Amino acid sequence: MRKIDTIIIHCSDSKFGSSDDIRTWHKQRGWRDIGYHFVILNGKLGQGLFLESMDGSIETGRTLDGDAYLDKDEVGAHAYGMNSHSIGICLIGVDTYTPKQQLSLKLVVSDLMLQYGVRVENVIGHREMKGVSKTCPTGLDMDEFRDSL
């Protein structure tokens, strides 16, 4: 077990989805469960289906037991080499996120930082990891986001 010290922000690279959708996609790839701990919805739940009340909703992916350490069942599958000590959060979207999603992201990250003692410099976008050739979370200015925390 390792202490949680990092929060990694991702995007789904899909126009719609939910934690159940991502869980299905990940299991189809042979994974044990959804890779992320939290998913923040954009209200688009399917082709042409928009529910405003779901915009900015925070869904639980892999569960956390609330202590500062990740046991084997809590370790995500979202950032190779960092999973054992990080929490993964996925924004539904390709390259733009709704104001409600952005507010929810700020709220959940702020709460997690307080709960687990994560420093602001350890809140990173997937693309900011060494050796990663990703753009995720596309369209989110991570410096601006960190400054808002």
Express each pLDDT in 9-23 by its tens digit.
999 999 999 999 999
CATH code of the domain covering residue 51: 3.40.80.10
Query: For 75-102, what is the mean pLDDT?
Result: 96
Structural domain containing residue 88? 2-148
Q: Is 90 one of the catalytic residues?
A: no
The SS3 call for residue 59 is strand
Q: How confident is the model at residue 79, as a pLDDT?
A: 95
Q: Is 136 one of the catalytic residues?
A: yes
**Active-site residue, from 10, 26, 37, 78:** 10
Q: How confident is the model at residue 97, as a pLDDT?
A: 97
Torsion of CA 75, 80, 82, 83, to 10 degrees: -10
Q: How confident is the model at residue 104, as a pLDDT?
A: 98
Q: Is 69 one of the catalytic residues?
A: no
Whether the predicted pLDDT of 46 surpasses 90: no
How confident is residue 147, by pLDDT bands cut at 50, 70 and 90? very high
Query: For 130-149, what is the mean pLDDT?
Result: 95
Q: What is the value of pTM for the model shown?
A: 0.95
How many structural domains compose the chain?
Answer: 1
Q: Is 36 one of the catalytic residues?
A: yes
**Active-site residue, from 11, 26, 36, 116:** 36
Q: Is 3 one of the catalytic residues?
A: no
